[in-house]
Amino acid sequence: MRSPGDIEFLTQIANQVAIAVENALAFGEIRELKDKLAQEKLYLEDEIRSEMNFAQIVGTALPCAESSSEWKP
């Protein structure tokens, strides 16, 4: 037979295991979100570089520079 002390001990262990499982799941989710954020950061940095290069190309091409002056108020 199990004593009340055994049941209390097993309950404490079960609670600790539950906390460990919750922490492991949370850690996994945080890692996934961190990886996703890093990928989005790289994508946005690439987009910014593309935008900057496009502005330089348009700004240095003579016909574009001349026609862009027509767009300015």
Report pLDDT for 35: 97
Nearest in space to 4 (alpha carbons), one of 43, 12, 20: 12
Q: What is the mean pLDDT of each run of 10 residues along the chain (73 residues)?
A: 89 98 98 97 90 64 55 54
Report pLDDT for 69: 54
Q: List all residues 6 or more positions away from 7 whose beta carbon is below 8 Å from its beta carbon.
A: none
Q: Please give the structure tokens belonging to residue 2.
A: 């199990």
**Secondary structure (DSSP) of 38-66:** HHHHHHHHHHHHHHHHHHHHHHH-HHHHH
Report pLDDT for 43: 95
Give kind and range of the element (H or E) at residue 12. helix 4-60
Domain boundaries, the chain: 4-71
- Whole-model pTM? 0.56
Report pLDDT for 50: 84
